[in-house]
Amino acid sequence: MPTTPGKLLVRGSVNIDEFFVVDHIVRSGETISSTDYSRRAGGKGANQAVAAAKAGAQVDFAGLVGNDGGWLRDTLGGYGVGVSLLGADETLPTGRAVIQLSSSTADNSIVLLPGANFSQTSRFRHLTSAQLATYSHLLLQNEIPLNETKDALRRAKSAGLTTLFNPSPMPSQQALAEFAWQHLDWLVINEGEGADLLAALADPAAAEQANEGPAALLRALRRTALGSLTGIIMTRGAEGVVASLRDGSVVEVGPGKVVGGVKDTTGAGDCFTGYFATLLSTLPRSPAYSLTHDKLRDILAIASQAAAICVESQGAMESVPTLAAVKERTGEGWKEGMEWEVLLR
């Protein structure tokens, strides 16, 4: 068991999230009233960095705020995220997410404004190979320019990092077909994104397997350009998680336990992804190490339980539980002596 886990670097978006609580998600041409409003820190990159920090990771966030987002630096730092790579572009506004949250169903609808997330002045660009090599894992999403993501993956892989990509929002089919998958180790998607990927990367006949269940979908994805990936993780909301390893084997895990009902699903996916990356970073990185099905199943179960706790309260960052809280909820199902217990110290 390692004495310390690896160090994560998250390169991604940071937004000002504006929440409007509504009875139902507005329909085309409809005007409705909001019953509540709040402003919080968000962005998939920042959310996942906070989730990693709450899981116990040593994590730095590389991104950009605009001329109205200075307070976000304090917010992220307050959660334990390193912000030395968080820059500012004073010529642009901070990225925005306008979120409708249904009070009746807990569903959400999101409109994004990229803002400074699409600035070309990221501090990540100036990291040397030696500086990149001080990290063990790089985690990316798709709320920054795709060329920045591809460049980050290439540089990180060259520096020896384990790379993870959560392609949300999903790129176009052409962008997916042209993506540099050879630089990626782990792909984290949901079921709908998996179907989109198969449609982009496989012939029409193979793409029909998206309708044959999650295991069949993952096996079909393995027959595309994704075949060389170490792992494909596919979240299924209330149905749990299913994953595929390079040898084609499939691991399935049920959902975590929700207490008191679902209040807000906004940050559940980011919570899961941040937790998954953190738990993965505790494992040995020797070429001789082989991740077993049981070990992967344990990691997925913990990340799923974290996401389940996350949906019990509102907010993408505020609702993310600590690893200690996840252990308490897991109860007798928690396995003692695992690598990630170092995160609890």
Cis upstream peptide for 169 (omega within 30°): yes
Tell me if 97 is assigned to a ligand binding site.
no
What is the phi/psi pair of residue 150, to 5°? -65, -40
Tell me if 285 is assigned to a ligand binding site.
no
CA–CA separation, 43 and 97 (whole Å) = 8
Tell me if 189 is assigned to a ligand binding site.
no
Tell me if 147 is assigned to a ligand binding site.
no
Tell me if 236 is assigned to a ligand binding site.
yes
Single-letter residue type at 231? G
Tell me if 16 is assigned to a ligand binding site.
yes
Residue 336: count other Cβ atoms within 10 Å of its Cβ.
6
Residue 270 annotated as catalytic: yes
Tell me if 108 is assigned to a ligand binding site.
no
CA–CA separation, 320 and 55 (whole Å) = 9
Tell me if 107 is assigned to a ligand binding site.
no
What is the phi/psi pair of residue 242, to 5°? -130, 140
Tell me if 42 is assigned to a ligand binding site.
no
Cis upstream peptide for 287 (omega within 30°): no
CA–CA separation, 245 and 252 (whole Å) = 12
- CA neighbor of 242 nearest in space, from 162, 176, 304, 164: 304
Residue 134: count other Cβ atoms within 10 Å of its Cβ.
12
The DSSP 8-state label assigned to residue 136 in this structure reads: S
Of the candidates 23, 270, 294, 298, the residue annotated as catalytic is 270
Structure tokens at 314: 């509102």
CA–CA separation, 237 and 27 (whole Å) = 24
CA–CA separation, 226 and 187 (whole Å) = 9
Tell me if 91 is assigned to a ligand binding site.
no
Tell me if 239 is assigned to a ligand binding site.
yes
Tell me if 216 is assigned to a ligand binding site.
no
How many residues comprise the chain?
345
Tell me if 315 is assigned to a ligand binding site.
yes
Tell me if 264 is assigned to a ligand binding site.
yes
β-partners of residue 64 are 87
- CA neighbor of 63 nearest in space, from 79, 48, 51: 48
Tell me if 266 is assigned to a ligand binding site.
yes
Tell me if 310 is assigned to a ligand binding site.
yes
| Annotated binding-site ranges | 15-17, 43-47, 143, 190, 235-240, 264, 266, 269-270, 310, 313, 315, 319
| Annotated binding-site ranges for ATP | 190, 235-240, 269-270
| Annotated binding-site ranges for K(+) | 264, 266, 310, 313, 315, 319
Catalytic positions are 270
| Annotated binding-site ranges for substrate | 15-17, 43-47, 143, 270
